[in-house]
Amino acid sequence: MKVFLSSIKNEFLKQRRGFTWVIAVVLSLGTSFLAFVDVYLRYDYLIKKQDLLNTWEILLLENHLSALWFITFPLAITTICSLLYYVDYKDGGLKYTLTLPIGKNKLYFSKWITVVIFSVLMIILNILGLILAGKILNFPDSLDIYLFLRYGIYQFFALLGVISLQLWLSSRTNNIIASLAQGFVGIIVSLFLAQSQLIARFIPYAHMLYSIPLKGENNSIAIQGGIIFGLLFLFIGVVNFKRKDILE
* pLDDT 10s digits, 52-74: 899 999 999 999 999 999 999 99
Q: Cα(207)–Cα(216) distance, rounded to whole angstroms?
A: 15
What are the residue ranges spanned by the domains of the chain?
2-242
Please tell me the predicted confidence (pLDDT) of residue 248: 47
Among the listed residues 177, 85, 162, 92, the one whose alpha carbon sits nearest the alpha carbon of residue 122: 162
The burial class, CB within 10 Å (0-12 / 13-18 / 19+), for 150 is middle
Contact between residue 58 and residue 64 where contact means Cβ atoms under 8 Å apart:
no
Contact indicator for 46, 39 with CB cutoff of 8 Å: yes
Name the band, by pLDDT with cuts 50, 70 and 90, for residue 246. very low
**CA–centroid distance for 143 within its chain:** 25
Q: What is the pLDDT of residue 92?
A: 60
Decide if 75 contacts 179 (C-beta within 8 A): no
Report whether 226 contacts 153 (CB < 8 A).
no
| pTM to 2 decimal places | 0.91
**Mind listing the pLDDT tens digit for each residue in 5-45?**
777 777 777 777 778 889 999 999 999 999 999 999 999 99
How far apart CA 72 and CA 178 sit, in angstroms, is: 19
Residue 10's identity, in one-letter code, is N
